[in-house]
């Protein structure tokens, strides 16, 4: 099954691809077909009428990029060696151009000093150097070469492939939106930290693998006050904790306090009882490690903003 498919779905990387054009038409990208009408020199209205008769949607040329202009210049004046001017499907009024298919006026290729101030309402493409391919506004009753264009005929497989490409692009766009959303969240968090610092907050905790505040806020002055709290553990106020600003002395769980044990030093022999009628005495000694007893932890730094 063959379908007519005219809408451009995006830029393509090659000019000459697989042809979906009828016999006698030249393909451009996967978008257009061009047909040179042989031995036909017509005025503008008759030229447009001839193109309309070439098929549904066929018109005189409309050109929307330098790439398309270069392709047409090479096709018409180098490959087919046309020596006559060629009609372009456009009209001019007050130096403003309107395409015959009402497409966007997004590209022009006028000769210097064109369009003129004369009452010329139609546009032709020049064949001769040094202005090959350039546009000139002329009277619409002039006789010029007729070249038509139409959308390429696309098969079901062609359309499905382009749909797949668009769906892939949509997936990439969704991921880009998610990435930008994450960045925006990080920016909002950083903004909140900055606002906090600008108001009442004067201290900052630097967690492991995080930059120093002098990097985050280089225009502020910071003092590292970590040595004032060296080695201390912190717990949230409330419960069994001391009141705010209070300090708990270290506490050791003991089952007996009969003997004083110095960490890192083995005790003297301690009598532990006897057996066999008191003839055999048992003694014990103890060694307590001098290492610090602590939960898993990581060191942090504490900074004070001084200006």
- State both tokens at 90: 């456009």
* First-to-final CA distance of the chain: 76
* Angle, vertex CA 135, rays to CA 133 and CA 136, nearest 5: 135
Backbone angles phi and psi of 298, in degrees to 5: -130, 145
Rounded CA gap, 132 and 90, in Å? 18
Rounded CA gap, 139 and 217, in Å? 69
Check: CB of residue 47 under 8 Å from CB of residue 87.
yes
* Angle, vertex CA 14, rays to CA 109 and CA 170, nearest 5: 100
Rounded CA gap, 119 and 135, in Å? 16
CATH class of residue range 26-156: alpha beta
Locate all alpha helices (DSSP H) within the chain, ordered by sequence. 44-52, 66-73, 156-198, 213-216
Which pLDDT does position 11 carry in this prediction? 36
Provide the 10 A C-beta neighbour count for residue 16. Answer: 10
How do the domains of the chain map onto residue ranges? 26-156, 202-238+299-306
Which pLDDT does position 257 carry in this prediction? 44
Provide the 10 A C-beta neighbour count for residue 241. Answer: 12
Q: Mean pLDDT per 10-residue run, the chain (307 residues)?
A: 35 49 92 91 96 95 96 97 97 90 89 84 95 96 97 73 81 82 75 60 75 82 82 72 70 52 74 66 71 69 75
| Buried b / exposed e along 113-145 (16+ C-beta atoms within 10 A) | ebbeeeebebbbbbbeeebebbbbbbebeeebb
Which pLDDT does position 6 carry in this prediction? 34
Q: Which residue has the tokens 């003092």?
A: 223
- State both tokens at 44: 């503008």
Which pLDDT does position 138 carry in this prediction? 94
- For residue 161, give Cα distances in angstroms to 9, 17, 52, 79, 158: 11, 14, 30, 31, 5
DSSP-derived pairing of the beta strands 270-275 and 280-284: antiparallel
């Amino acid at each position: 099954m063959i379908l007519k498919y005219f809408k451009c779905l995006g830029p393509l990387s090659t000019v000459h691809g697989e042809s979906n054009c009828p016999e006698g038409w030249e393909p451009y990208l996967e978008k257009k077909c061009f047909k040179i009408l042989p031995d036909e020199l017509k005025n503008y209205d008759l030229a447009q009428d001839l193109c309309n008769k070439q098929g549904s949607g066929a018109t005189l040329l409309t050109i929307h990029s330098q790439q398309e202009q270069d392709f047409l210049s090479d096709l018409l004046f180098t490959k087919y060696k046309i020596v006559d001017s060629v009609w372009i499907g456009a009209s001019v009024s007050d130096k403003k151009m309107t395409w015959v298919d009402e497409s966007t006026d997004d590209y022009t290729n006028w000769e210097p000093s064109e369009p003129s101030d004369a009452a010329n309402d139609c546009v032709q493409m020049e064949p001769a150097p040094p202005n090959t391919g350039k546009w000139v506004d002329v009277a619409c009753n002039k006789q010029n070469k007729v070249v038509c264009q139409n959308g390429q005929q696309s098969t079901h497989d062609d359309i499905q492939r382009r749909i797949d490409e668009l769906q892939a692009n949509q997936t990439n766009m969704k991921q880009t939106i998610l990435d930008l959303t994450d960045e925006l969240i990080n920016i909002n968090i950083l903004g909140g930290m900055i606002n906090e610092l600008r108001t009442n907050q004067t201290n900052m905790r630097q967690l492991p693998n995080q930059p120093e505040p002098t990097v985050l806020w280089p225009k502020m002055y910071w003092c590292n006050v970590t040595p004032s709290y060296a080695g201390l553990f912190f717990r949230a106020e409330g419960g069994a904790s001391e009141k705010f600003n209070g300090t708990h002395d270290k506490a050791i769980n003991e089952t007996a306090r009969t003997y004083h044990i110095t960490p890192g030093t083995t005790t003297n022999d301690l009598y532990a009882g006897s057996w066999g009628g008191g003839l055999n005495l048992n003694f014990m000694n103890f060694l307590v490690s001098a290492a610090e007893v602590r939960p898993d932890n990581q060191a942090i730094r504490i900074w004070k903003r001084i200006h």
